[in-house]
Amino acid sequence: THMTIVGPKKDPRAETLHALARALPARYKRLEWLDSREGKLPNPDVEYPDLDQPAAFACSAAGKCMATNACKGQSACKSASNACKGLNACKGNGFSMASQKECAAKGGVFVKS
């Protein structure tokens, strides 16, 4: 599982997301924290959107197209701001399942893990 927290390290919401991600059990876990004030991650193999609030991204299956869900209520999985799939608040706050080609056509970031 590859998890990345996106947000300032001094933001209490980002701190909570990081603590929750650290506590998740996994046989293999890659956990990163992207604070734009510190520059790029050491291994910048995934691009993340600029957001107005902290967010957590988790990738554990092939074919996730990040931040491209068509509209409110269309995300494929839970995220930091909602408890289960389909509960995203607005367009672009979640991910949808797509091929790399379909994801590029939507303007999203394809994540294969």
Answer whether residue 83 shows pLDDT above 50.
Answer: no
DSSP assigned state of 112: -
Answer whether residue 78 shows pLDDT above 50.
Answer: no
CB 22 within 8 A of CB 1: no
pLDDT of residue 84: 44
DSSP E strands in the chain: the ranges are 2-6, 30-34, 55-59, 64-66, 95-97, 109-111
Least confident of 3-7, 82-86, 109-113: 82-86
Answer whether residue 19 shows pLDDT above 90.
Answer: yes
CB 84 within 8 A of CB 109: no
